[in-house]
Amino acid sequence: EEAEHVLGEWTDNPATGMHEKECEICGYVEAEAHDYDEWTDNHETGKCERECTVCGHVEQSDHMYGEYVDNHESGKHERACIECGHKEESEHVFSGWQSIDSDKEHKKSCTLCEHEEAAEHTFGKWSETDNDTHERECEDCGYIMTEDHEFDSAVNIGNGQHKLTCS
């Protein structure tokens, strides 16, 4: 004679990655895929996790982060896990200083987000390049500032000649 299966509670079967319930009389097994809720951040494990709403099986995963963005309030950059929303914040990682075609400033950019910082050049001493100009180089970015000499005084050096002095 035929009878309905007498199925037990849903349990997780790690071997199949599904949950199942078994007939208490004949051993028949009914299996279904897990039905997970939303990913959440598990602060204790440092991972994302979600729970099957049927059998309680918990699946864990490493965070899967999106792109870094500049956090103007903290002065750092951050990125969020695309699954659970967990945020990770860290210091900017800067490239070297780069000239911005200016006698006044240069900039450095974070290699991971869009953050930039500008600062005044740090020039060394002037050096003569030829009779008409002198130059100095920024110690941070290598920008070279060249200017014409501005002669403001003359000194007699004898033999009918004088030497001009640049200010």
What pLDDT digit, counting tens, does each position of 16-55 carry? 999 999 999 999 999 999 999 999 999 999 999 999 999 9
> Can you say whether the dihedral through the CA atoms of 85, 87, 88, 94 is positive or negative?
positive
pLDDT of residue 151: 67
Ranges 1-10, 51-60, 151-160: which has the least confidence: 151-160
pLDDT of residue 129: 81
Tell me the pLDDT band of 160, cut-offs 50, 70 and 90: low
User: Mean of the pLDDT values across residues 116-140?
Assistant: 88
Question: Has residue 161 got a pLDDT over 80?
Answer: no
Tell me the pLDDT band of 164, cut-offs 50, 70 and 90: low
Ranges 38-42, 67-71, 85-89, 124-128: which has the least confidence: 124-128
Q: How far apart are CA 79 and CA 94, in angstroms?
A: 17
Burial of 86 (0-12, 13-18, 19+ CB in 10 A): buried
Q: How far apart are CA 42 and CA 26, in angstroms?
A: 40
pLDDT of residue 167: 57
Q: How far apart are CA 59 and CA 12, in angstroms?
A: 11
Q: How far is CA 141 from CA 61, 98, 99, 122, 137, in A?
A: 43, 5, 6, 9, 8
Listed in sequence order, the residues at least 6 apart from 38 whose beta carbon sits closer than 8 Å to its beta carbon are: 50
How many other β-carbons are positioned within 10 Å of the β-carbon of residue 22? Answer: 18
pLDDT of residue 57: 96
Task: Name the pTM for this structure.
Answer: 0.65
**CB of 108 closer than 8 Å to CB of 122:** no
User: Mean of the pLDDT values across residues 117-123?
Assistant: 92
